[in-house]
Structure 1
């Protein structure tokens, strides 16, 4: 049953304290949620047979006829109750053709639209709802703060809720169940794949659960009672493509495995040691413990 009222969703950004890039190759990463968020407002459509996505941060507002989208459904729909399989190269080619994007599309607007269309078609299936969705964010794009993951988490949660696959919390302080959060996270990961190609999954995990997490090879473990940390983030205002950076690390690993494997192992050891320090300093870090974190 489709939701018949306005729905608000938000998800936090993230910062990876330790394990950046190595996490894509099965190493440990430690990540924490930020007090910067992405927000989504969903309204049922006006019975005009359209779906609209409005992304004011990047100046994008698009509307499609549901009758046109319906023809794509057989190529996308699979059961949200099971683990999503998604997105195949063929599906992405279908979407790029439908949206009028070239195969080499890498700009923020195009990738955000493709991720939305993929999640909308895959989650909602045969009964495509008429919706008006607005997504805005406090997170800069291309700054390594998980803006795309917060976007994917918000979109996935809203679509799962509006299509009746997860509940709609009646009050702001009531959270989704672990099973529902796991489903949100699994679909958000598919949105991240559309945008980044081969993401680790850590960004969408933090966007879904928040707090501090240890992430390794898809296994998510909350880090309990982390001491309060003041993190200085500097925005250079020079955007970077996570997809390109991840591909660059993979290329170096394939070309120079004897050099890169020890580097990744060292990064893993740093993550392990810093987790030990953080958990030992729950009452506040000593100067010696801070020095360990700073050196690493």
Structure 2
């Protein structure tokens, strides 16, 4: 029985959401909340009818399984076509995968899982063929809240499958948290990113590719008009993420900003230009080295001012929400600055945690936010991307594998 695992981080947008659609720069960063995938590849059974592929989703508490013979029959494939080159999922293959999913009674309340299950079946059978195995998935990331949960799923899944296929290998350099997590070389990360993007296309249709890039490579990136620039944060940046638990319709929010831009073209052009300036300045600030408390405090104050300005401009675009405003008012009581991250209209809010802020004050902030039924996560921004664990990983999220 071969065992391996992979984990990939979620992401936040530090600056530039919505305006990026209209040509402005934006800045995204990895956070230390992860989606983890483990894989146990089973030996080929003498009784072929007993060979199955199993997917165990820990968070919703659901397990799915497919007889390997049925996968071969429906997908008309046995061996993987080659893992070293990422290929898109053809319409015919996607239709075949849909037939496999119809054979499972997915609860109506969990119907959103279908796209993720389709991505899983595509990635698994494309990279490993119809080999029997068990994949286990768990995540720190709330789904559908703008923290890149689907990208982290596709990146960690692609990472563990390519590792099992012998195409991706760890390069050493323990990631810092023990448990056997190791880093992956740049060329291997490029391959993982290409496969993960194919998974994201199944889930989202026309993704930008930004979420999977941040989850794969980690750190921070600036993106503008399709071009990505890697940023290197010289000092740790800590944030409090507040999940308002309010769902939102991203497409409707993006369309609403475009409609407002059509009605008030000159005013909104100025808004987008201002956001571009903020994103460019954020990019410069995060790369500045700060070697003492005074320099660190100055850097954090500048970042807080830019976040505050960006939030005001997002309000001008019409994408705030009463739940977001509640977070802003609550954190402002403690002289902390917050801004929405992602589409807005609910979702998640970032609050900058200054280095000198006491834990006592932070706990008071969290307690007040949670009294509104919000959920809070303390994160470090700009950390590692994909990490893998080969052979020696005896535990996976508390479970023996």
Shorter-chain TM range is 0.7 to 0.9
Query: Map of 1:47-196 to 2, 5 A cutoff?
Result: 47=45, 48-71=50-73, 72-73=75-76, 79-82=82-85, 84-100=86-102, 107-124=111-128, 127-167=129-169, 172=180, 174-196=182-204
1:41 is paired with a residue whose SS is strand
* In structure 1, distance between residues paired with 2:259 and 2:97: 31
Aligned 8 A contact 1:40 1:133 in 2: yes
Aligned 8 A contact 1:43 1:131 in 2: yes
Structure 1 residue 253, shift from structure 2 partner: 4.2
* In structure 2, distance between residues paired with 1:259 and 1:281: 40
* In structure 2, distance between residues paired with 1:218 and 1:74: 35
Q: Counterpart of 2:371?
A: none
Q: Among 33, 38, 52, which residue is 2:30 paired with?
A: 33
Aligned 8 A contact 1:116 1:155 in 2: yes
**Would you tell me which structure has more strand in proportion to its own residues?**
2
Structure 1 residue 268, shift from structure 2 partner: 3.4
Q: Among 7, 10, 20, which residue is 2:7 paired with?
A: 10
Structure 1 residue 220, shift from structure 2 partner: 3.7
Moved over 6 A (4+): none
Structure 1 residue 146, shift from structure 2 partner: 1.2
Q: Counterpart of 1:295?
A: 309
Aligned 8 A contact 2:282 2:303 in 1: no
* In structure 1, distance between residues paired with 2:156 and 2:194: 12
* In structure 2, distance between residues paired with 1:95 and 1:267: 42
Structure possessing the higher radius of gyration over alpha carbons = 2
* In structure 2, distance between residues paired with 1:45 and 1:22: 48
TM-score norm. by structure 2 comes to: 0.62
* In structure 2, distance between residues paired with 1:277 and 1:266: 17
Where structure 1 has 5 or more consecutive residues not aligned to the other structure, the ranges are none
2:54 is paired with a residue whose SS is strand
Deviates more, 1:261-270 or 1:182-191: 261-270
1:69 is paired with a residue whose SS is helix
Aligned 8 A contact 2:18 2:257 in 1: no
Structure 1 residue 22, shift from structure 2 partner: 4.5
* 1:157-201 CA distance string (max 9 Å, x none): 111111222225677364221000011111111111111222211
Aligned 8 A contact 2:197 2:212 in 1: yes
* In structure 2, distance between residues paired with 1:94 and 1:251: 36
* 1:48-86 CA distance string (max 9 Å, x none): 42110010212221110111212315599654323x341
* In structure 1, distance between residues paired with 2:264 and 2:68: 52
* 1:2-53 CA distance string (max 9 Å, x none): xx52112111111111122444676532111112111111112253421100
2:240 is paired with a residue whose SS is coil
1:181 is paired with a residue whose SS is helix
Structure 1 residue 290, shift from structure 2 partner: 3.3
TM-score norm. by structure 1 comes to: 0.82
Aligned 8 A contact 1:212 1:226 in 2: no
